Amino acid sequence: MSRRRKVAAAHVNHERWMVSFADFMTLLFALFVVLFAVSSVDQQKYQQMTESMEKAFGVVPRQGDGLLESRPGIPAQISIVPPVVQYPPMNPVKTSPAKTTEQMKNLLKQTPELAKMMSLRQEERGLILQLQESLFFDSGSAELKPEALPALKKLVTALEKMPLSLRVEGHTDNIPVKGNFGSNWDLSAARATQVLQVLLNHSKIQPQRLSMAGYGEYHPIAANNTESGRRKNRRVDIVLLSPRADLQEPQNQGYTTQTPDSLNQELESKLSTRRN
């Protein structure tokens, strides 16, 4: 008779909880390690790592950093940078517009020959000294009449004492020009240049205070359909710019201190050297 083998009873493992507990403790330890590492992060290395990762992934740098709180309960350090605004330097004005007008009126009273050749006109951009074309130039010519030069020199002497910027403007009527000039543009610019040369050669006015413009027939002060209106439009204006109008002029940044003559001499010297 065969013997039956006795089957051993299964052993109940009461230590399974230790495996789960060990896993839990490992995760808990890792959590504390991470928390500690975050609390003591090196800001410089963190910033370098962030920038390198942004470059690697092509991330656009964030805008407005620092506007939010850096940490809960601790306000971020926000530094407000004022906008950079560049204003053109304002030249010191020692003469008010009203005083300038009064000075010019007194000059015309004291100089009758000059009073016959020019008139005053006040505009928002400044005081206009209007020179009559027929008394300064022949028709279609840009050469100053010799008899007009003495009176013009007296005007230049008075302008020399006024610390204002001056603009010489040439104007014509709408009749097409004949002679050596191709258009009214050329004639108006040439006449303005002639008056500008008198300001430069017969006074101590700084060239930086001077400018010139030729407007041709396109800025009339009277109708061109009558002879009297065309006569008024043929003129050369010397504008004593107001402080506000002067701000619109190009500013001298002082990139060169050379005079035009010295610049021309230097250029001529270089050209002569190349020819030789």
Reduced to 3 states (helix: H, G, I; strand: E, B; else coil), residue 243 is: helix
Assess whether pLDDT exceeds 50 at residue 19: yes
Q: Which residues are within 8 A (CB) of 63 and not within 5 positions of it... i.e. 6 or more apart?
A: none
Q: Which residues are within 8 A (CB) of 143 and not within 5 positions of it... i.e. 6 or more apart?
A: 137, 194
The pLDDT of residue 227: 94
- Over residues 184-241, the pLDDT tens digits come to 999 999 999 999 999 999 988 989 999 999 999 999 999 999 999 999 999 999 999 9
- Over residues 41-74, the pLDDT tens digits come to 566 776 777 777 677 666 655 554 544 444 555 4
Pairing verdict, β 235-241 and 166-171: antiparallel
Give CA–CA dist 243/247, Å, rounded. 6
Reduced to 3 states (helix: H, G, I; strand: E, B; else coil), residue 114 is: helix
Assess whether pLDDT exceeds 90 at residue 11: no
Q: What is the pTM of this model?
A: 0.58
- Over residues 109-135, the pLDDT tens digits come to 998 888 889 999 999 899 999 998 889
**CATH 3.30.360.10 corresponds to the domain 102-249:** no
The residue extents of the domains of the chain are 102-249
The pLDDT of residue 169: 96
Q: What is the mean pLDDT of the chain?
A: 78
**If phi over 0 gives left and psi between -120 and 50 gives alpha, with beta otherwise, what is residue 126?**
left
